[in-house]
Amino acid sequence: MAKKLIGKMKLQIPAGKATPSPPVGPALGQRGINIMEFCKAFNAKTQDMEEGAPCPTEISYYQDKSFTMNIKTPPASYYLKKAAGLKPVGKRNRPRGAENPGRETIGTVTVAQVREIAEAKMRDLNSNDIEGAMQIILGSAKSMGIEVK
């Protein structure tokens, strides 16, 4: 007999850093998911990724308290900021995009770097070929104020 799906939830968790503390612990605990089991499974699946990279994760949880997770690649903005070499700023100590994109340029990336990002994100993008994926990444770069040379 198939498991009965109770619900789905989405979290963005740093790779290799899932802990029972907020925001992961309370979000899972109130749905009856074993927090330590999730943390161990998530950290094991993300051990080959760059530590601390934000990973959008979709968690499906079932009536028998079991769960499945789908871990996606980090957002394009994360890769673009890293490729442009932006330094962390602000109260959360993260790099930010331009305040006036289109008028202000905060960094530059090359077409080769855009291709690398598109190849890394290909499985999560709505594109059939690498050129289409590159166009999606170029749009993200433009909206962040990053120039492509």
Backbone angles phi, psi at 49, to 5 degrees: -85, 165
CATH (domain of 88)? 1.10.10.250
Instruction: Return left, alpha or beta for 64; rule: phi > 0 is left, psi -120 to 50 is alpha, else beta.
Output: alpha
- The DSSP code for 4 is P
> What's the rounded mean pLDDT across residues 125-143?
88
pLDDT of residue 1: 54
Residue that is last in its domain, among 40, 71, 102: 71
Cα 51 to Cα 4: distance, rounded to the nearest angstrom: 34
Q: What is the pTM of this model?
A: 0.79
Q: Which domain holds residue 62?
A: 5-71
Condensed to tens digits (0 to 9), the pLDDT of residues 32-71 reads 888 889 889 998 998 888 888 888 999 998 888 888 999 9
If asked whether residues 80 and 37 sit together in one domain, one would say: no
Cα 84 to Cα 80: distance, rounded to the nearest angstrom: 6
* CA 29 centroid distance within chain: 22
CB burial readout 33-44, b (16+ within 10 A) else e: bebeebbebbbe
Residue that is last in its domain, among 38, 71, 104: 71
Bridge-based pairing state of the strands 67-71 and 54-62: antiparallel
Residue that is last in its domain, among 56, 71, 86: 71
